Chains A and B, each alone.
Chain A
Amino acid sequence: MERLTPQAIIDSFKKELGDGFVGGSVYEREVGVKKNTFRSLWVEVKKSAFRDAVEHICHLQEYPHLAIISSSDLGSEVELIYHFTIYYGYHLEELSLGLRVKLPKSDLKIPTITDFIPGAIFTERETQEMMGVEVVGIPDSRRLFLPEDFPEGAYPWRKDEKGPPKDMLRVLPGREPK
């Protein structure tokens, strides 16, 4: 498969997704004594275009590697970043691609991508239990890390009232929980 430059990849997202494309940027820095370039890409899309964006990544690379989904509680919304890597297997050719999508707290739902990438299942299960984002169509919705007796409706990574209950937090004697 032909390998595109980082800027061309962003342009291809823009063309493919139209209105669903929110923004994209290329991050570059020099590494080592020889000053080779370390490149990574950040692409933000609207929730409606999310699955199309993942499908587009599957066209760029036959089996994209999904490292992890990271999620941040930004107050009124939750930001998910799907950390992909593409063009692996060649010296200095690989690119990290962070696909960013923001969800309003009133509608915390994201479609599954396990039909494109079966190995996304663990990280989708983790996002579901830790952040309280419902993954629609997930083939296996059991908890991954949290024990069975962890209260329903509490999500450890949330920073609002849905975070872990205060009485669960143990602190050193003489200190207050933050």
Chain B
Amino acid sequence: MIQEETKKATYTIPVGPIHPALKEPVRLALTVDGEEIVDADVFVGQVHRGIEWLGMNRNNPIQSIYLAERICGICNICHPFSFVMAVEHAAGITPPPRAEYIRAITAEMERIHSHLLWAGVAAHEIGFDTVFYRTWQVREEIMDLIEYVTGNRVTKAMFQIGGVRRDITEEQYPRIRQSLDYYKNIFDHLKKVFLEDKTIQMRTRNVGVLTKEDALKLLTCGPSGRASGVPKDVRQDQPYGAYADMDIVAMTPDMVTGTVVGDVYDRIIVRLLEVKQAVEIIEECLEKMPPGPLLAQPKTAVLLKTLTKAEGEGVGRAEAPRGEVVHYVRMESGQSTLATWKVRAPTYVNLMCVPTILKGMQIADVPITFASLDPCMSCTNRVVVTDRAADRKSVIDYEELHRLSVEKTRELAS
């Protein structure tokens, strides 16, 4: 029956107004009984750009690094990270140790900025805009640091097959440490703002609960999985690069509260803890960074020749801010493009738990619940609502949904 409804609903997609805080379009179809959500369905594909196809039919592997960087505007370190690992694995190239450390540092910087971005969006979704501005102000510090280290705020172009393209020198350490100290000093303040505020607690405690069993069955990964008590983190379980030299522990909410509920509040805890953890990892990397070259093969033409001759397959797995990114490549000798390229972004699996976490919630809870997964396509700018009791369908746009959410916060707070 739901299948039937969603089929009709497909014709009501208008690519809606895009909200500056959200990234990509995705559509949800919710079946509601009055205010309560009884079923939900997710539609993806509005921004499918055929990137894998380009990597298999047009680009050589070095060109594909830049394509991999553009899969996502936020995860533009972990996608090329995983991609170059997969190609290195297939072609038998080992990056020098110094490059591994620089890779880890940039990946952790990305985690800090992504989690803070998310925290701001989450505050905005419940209508707490002062916290939204404050969090994004705090985030500027890491953006400046990223620009200082890589030369760019967004696409950093740090990765090359067999190493990295830019060094982090001793002279840069004081500036990096200054930013890290800033985050260490402000951590308690952030924790207080997000975890002790009554309104935030009311809007997030017991909202969008995902049990451990459901998380395991629906393959939920990353902070959303860890918030449900699944201690799965690639940096801990199957460490790659510089992470293999460190003892990383997967963050779970019971480290702060003693229990695992698996709700939105727990997802906030996990992400805050990971910001702190990322700062510590960068410090450790700076301390232990070995000297040496940055690239296994500095000459691009020679590298390209090696890659064209390479035969084999490889898997690259990296822990992105949202969960595990997996790239699979297959290379055939004499072929300039990749024979197969398959990308798995964390949101791909995390979206499968959306119907589970939305069931039983109210429409006003949709923005924060959906955003709590930090979906890479968090633009719920069009949601189709089917009122089962009244037997009618209507399309709620993002602004309307956001207004409902803000009203709920005001009601609770007054």
Chain A contact residues, CB within 8 Å of chain B: 29, 31-34, 36, 38-40, 62-63, 65-68, 70-72, 81, 83, 85, 87-96, 98, 117-123, 140, 142-148, 156-157, 164, 178
Contacts and interface: CB of A to CB of B under 8 A. Distances in A.
Contacts of A120: 219
A63 B211 CA distance: 14
B326 A33 contact: no
Contacts of B57: 178
Nearest to B214: A118
A38 B220 CA distance: 23
B73 to A, nearest CB: 19
Interface residues of B, number: 55
A32 B242 contact: yes
Contacts of A67: 317, 324, 326, 344, 349
B373 to A, nearest CB: 14
A36 B239 contact: yes
B10 interface: yes
B238 A156 contact: no
Per DSSP, chain B at the interface is: mixed
Given A65-B219, A65-B232, A72-B340, A98 B315 contact: yes
Interface in B262-293: 288, 290
Given A98-B315, A148-B10, A32 B243 contact: yes
Contacts of B245: 32-34, 36
B217 A119 contact: yes
Contact of A83 (B232, B240, B328): B328
Given A31-B240, A90-B237, A156 B50 contact: yes
Nearest to B337: A178
Nearest to B218: A119
Contacts of A143: 45
Contacts of A121: 352
A152 B327 CA distance: 28
A38 B315 CA distance: 12
